[in-house]
Amino acid sequence: IPNFHGCTLHQDTNFDDAQFNAPPSAEAARAFRTLKLASAQQQAIHQEQRFFRYEMDAEAGIAKSGRRMMFWLYKRLSDYGLSLRRPLYLWLGTLGACGLLYGLIAGPYPSFATGIDWSRTAQWAQFAAINAIPLPGFDRTLMELREALFGTEKPLLLVATIIELLHKGVSLLALFLAGLALRNLFKMKG
């Protein structure tokens, strides 16, 4: 565990080749927090981010089951709010997976004899795209598309609605994490 409590770091202090294998503990989290704050004072953004990751890993290791799961998700989905790539992959993956599910539920399925119904395909692609960007103002369009694609049969409509809710929720989370990464990577204070 690096012990720099109460120390003043020189502006040329560099931890690039340092290896930290501290076991997760409250003491390790405090030590990495000290280095994170010292890096912030020197405006060494990349060092600050590095020590933030170490601090989060130390906190995750001592967290109880519910909090530990949140730390695990935060790390996997966005590298503690520092990865822009991971949330965008999540967003694109969710768009693709839910788009395919919408297409499967909407039917009819293309065959060699009938070919692809391009207007119906455009409808479910539009439905998936609108749900991928959960902004207000598209309610009427979504209602029309939902009715055209899934009809009014309760079981089919219920399944489509559940998928739509999950799609919007994950898309909103992914867009939030992407915004957080932009803020953290470019050090925009709010």
10-residue averages of pLDDT along the chain (190 residues): 81 81 87 90 84 91 91 92 94 95 78 70 90 84 88 85 94 94 74
Return left, alpha or beta for 28; rule: phi > 0 is left, psi -120 to 50 is alpha, else beta: alpha
Beta bridge partners of 111: 115
Write down the pLDDT at residue 190.
45
How many other CB atoms are there within 10 angstroms of residue 54's CB atom? 21
Largest Cα separation within the chain, whole Å, is 77
Give pLDDT, residue 117.
Answer: 76
pLDDT reported for residue 111: 55
What is the pTM assigned to this prediction?
0.80
